[in-house]
Structure 1
Amino acid sequence: MTTAPTLSHGRAWSDTKLLYALEEVVATELDRHLKVAKEWMPHEYVPWSEGRDFDGVMGGEAWAPEQSKVSAIGRTALVVNLLTEDNLPSYHHEIASLFGRDGAWGTWVHRWTAEEGRHGIVMRDYLLTSRAVDPVALERFRMQHMSEGFESDNRHSMLHSVAYVAFQELATRISHRNTGHHSGDPVCDRMLSRIATDENLHMVFYRNLLGKAFELAPDQTMSAVRDVVVDFRMPGHGIPGFERAAAQMAIGGIYNLRIHHDDVLQPVLRFLKVLQIGGLGPEGLRAQEELGLFMGGLDDQARKFDEKREALLARRRARAERDA
């Protein structure tokens, strides 16, 4: 990628100037998004004929794990993914406060919110109708998680936020797709595949925006990407029991260090040629070097994780064979 910074390396862009400078790019990306995004209806992905009353005021049947077609790891991931989507009001507040509610930025923020809201609707309808998860536990988790709200880790600048969502949207897409593959239910897999398609389009929007930011303010953007990659956490990290669930999802092959490195960070960095960008000032060069070193270290960590995971899975298989 060639860079064409409008300001010298010694002068930093303010958030206001960057928002204004990127407005035309946002409008272009919004038009592209609206042309390629296909309308879909959440109710078409829910197996309504499988639904029945729960216990409580309706006097139905209490939930039990054996009622679910979904695998144990699928249930864990579905709860994490849905609770992440549930915090949409907090996400909307964060992004609307940063990007604004007017012009192309505002139009995009509202469109993004509407599309993300659809994901939560279809996932909850599926989970309850198919009895995939305990509805009482799910609701209690939702109340606890949403009562605590959400505050972004990336409050340094709007560039940090753009960089974060470029990676986070791809991470969410990967998590949804792998959850569907490991769910054991073709209906669930089809639903999450549909959601993942939306998330990929969101990633493309922010990735392209990040690419333009590199042209305008290469040093600042490189520093923001470095900060985000090094300190990256999924937005659902505040979910009750997240650490345990994340560990189970890592072992289950839904989201782990190897996936994070190979399928989330590398594709965005490679597409934007972040580690090959030239013409940087001292700040940008330092950030680029630190980013490269971090990615190498992360690859080593992922390799060690892969070895430990395979050893654990081998022990589980051997134990299952003995117990059979």
Structure 2
Amino acid sequence: MTLAVQWTDARLLHALEEVVERELDRHLGVAKEWMPHEYVPWSQGRDFDGVMGGEAWALEQSPVSDVARVSLVVNLLTEDNLPSYHHEIATMFGRGGAWGTWVHQWTAEEGRHSIVMRDYLLTSRAVDPVALERARMSHMAAGFESDNSHSMLHSVAYVAFQELATRISHRNTGHHSGDPICDRMLARIATDENLHMVFYRNLLQAALELAPDEAMRAVADVVTGFRMPGHGMPGFERAAAQIALGGIYNLRIHHDDVIQPVLRYLKVLDLPGLGPEGQRAQEELGLFLGGLDSQATRFDERRAALLARREAARAEKSQV
């Protein structure tokens, strides 16, 4: 009689070390070096008011759309909390071996995102710099604590979905910005986020092969309770509603472009050989996805109706 393996975090970290090393080598082989300063329109910059005695910020100076301005602030504040994210994953994954090397590599790459976004926003005067700094102070002072602290598998599962969600959010913000410079910058960031997603997705795939019941439970918990990492920032709910209505990130996009691609790649709903706990998690996940799709459809209908009313109101106003 073969005893079932008790997969503690420590045992899983050791068992997956070789996979992390392989994925790290692959990542370093495909990741391209890029320079944040090359994506910033420095020639557009000028002094602000305050100690430099320049020109105060005004809304009409912003080159981006209203919804993109909201999304850019949310995305930057999310990136700003990198010290807290680093603490979370370094504490969970460790600072030694291949795990530690990846943690530091990921942190260094993510750091470029906040650098280039802030430089772009201030140089182009896309957002109110005073409001941005106050929001940064408030958000970073609160820190970040993961919703998925149950196990290291929950952490791996979360980032596999979260990195793709972040990629989609950045890319769609660029498309809706109305500024080609902003679009190009966010496309560059999105490329990084996609590579990070691939790393964690492949690691999650290896975990599903190694500890299928435990990994399936982690995937089900993460998908059914998913929240973006910036959920604790000031005004997040209102901003999220504007972003959803604007077509940058909403339930339909979350279902179709984030959750489903990862699950299909991993063949999670068709994974055989599960024990009772894994089967329960798989069934819970299937039921949840059906409900999420229905919620997304209802959101699409409400969004279309609201946008139609707004368009009709604009048309009526223009005729007056």
Q: Which amino acid aligns with 1:95?
A: I
Separation in structure 1 between the aligned mates of residue 105 and residue 4 of structure 2, nearest angstrom? 36
CA deviations on 1:260-293 (whole Å, 9 max, x unpaired) are 0000000000000000000000000000001000
Deviant stretches of 4+, over 2 Å: 7-12
Q: 1:8 to 1:91 in 2, by over 3 A?
A: farther
Does residue 1:311 correspond to 2:305, yes or no? yes
Structure-to-structure mapping, 1:229-308, within 5 angstroms: 229-308=223-302
- Per-residue deviation at 1:323? 1.2
Instruction: Describe the superposition over 1:146-201 as per-residue Cα deviations: whole angstroms up to 9, x where unpaired.
Output: 00000000000000000000000000000000000000100000000000000000
> 1:117, 1:310 → 2: CA distance?
37
State the distance in 1 between where 2:284 and 2:90 align: 31
Distance in 2, Cα, partners of 1:89 & 1:188? 25
Spell out the pairing of 1:112-151 with structure 2 (5 A cutoff). Answer: 112-151=106-145
**Compared CA separation, residues 195 and 9, structure 1 to 2 (3 A):** farther
Within the alignment, does 1:180 sit opposite 2:174 as a pair? yes
Counterpart of 2:92 in structure 1 is 98
Q: Secondary structure at the match of 1:237?
A: coil
Alpha-carbon offset, residue 9 of structure 1: 8.5
| Partner secondary structure for residue 143 of structure 1 | helix
Of 162, 183, 186, which residue of structure 2 is paired with 1:189?
183
Which residue of the partner structure matches residue 22 of structure 2? 28
User: What is the rounded CA distance, in whole Å, between the counterparts of 1:70 and 1:239 in structure 2?
Assistant: 22
The separation in 2 between residues aligned to 1:179 and 1:111, in whole angstroms, is 26
Q: Do the aligned partners of residues 9 and 279 (structure 1) sit closer, same or farther apart at CA in structure 2, a change above 3 Å counting?
A: farther
Tell me the secondary structure at the aligned position of residue 235 of structure 1. Answer: coil
Q: Taking CA–CA contacts closer than 8 Å with sequence separation of 6 or more, which of the two structures ends up with the larger relative contact order?
A: 1
Can you list the C-alpha shifts for 1:113-172, whole angstroms capped at 9, x where unaligned? 000000000000000000000000000000000000000000000000000000000000
**Match of residue 162 from structure 2:** 168
Of residues 303, 314, 322, the one that matches 2:316 is: 322
| Maintained 8 Å contact 1:275/1:292 | yes
* Matched position secondary structure for 2:230: helix
Compute the TM-score of the two structures, normalised by the length of structure 2: 0.98
Residue aligned with 1:12, SS: coil
Tell me whether 1:159 sits opposite 2:164 in the alignment.
no
Confirm or deny: 8 A CA contact 1:12 1:220 kept in the other structure: no
How far off is 1:11 after superposition?
Answer: 4.1
For residue 261 of structure 2, what is the amino acid of its counterpart?
A: P
1:216 aligned onto 2:216:
no
- Counterpart CA distance in 1 for 2:268 and 2:215 is 10
SS in 2 for 1:236: coil
Change (3 A) 1:296 1:280: same
Partner Cα separation in structure 2 for residue 214 and residue 21 of structure 1 = 12
Match of 1:56 in 2: 50
Contact 1:73 1:182 in 2 (8 A): yes
Q: Distance in 1 between matches of 2:286 and 2:138?
A: 38
CA deviation map 1:204-235 (0-9, x unaligned): 00000000000100000000000000000000
Aligned alpha-carbon RMSD (Å): 1.0
Instruction: Please report the TM-score for the alignment, with normalisation by the length of structure 1.
Output: 0.97
Residue-pair matches, total: 318
Q: Is residue 9–residue 281 contact of structure 1 (8 Å, CA) maintained in 2?
A: no
Q: Distance in 1 between matches of 2:197 and 2:39?
A: 23
2:8 — aligned with what?
A: 14
Give the letter aligned to residue 15 of structure 2.
A
* 2:198 aligned partner: 204
AA at the equivalent of 2:142: E
Letter in 1 for 2:25: D
Q: What is the identity, as a one-letter code, of the residue corresponding to 1:25?
A: V
Structure 2: any 5+ residue segments left out of the alignment?
none
**8 Å Cα contact 1:68-1:133 kept in structure 2:** yes
SS in 2 for 1:232: coil
SS at match of 2:16: helix
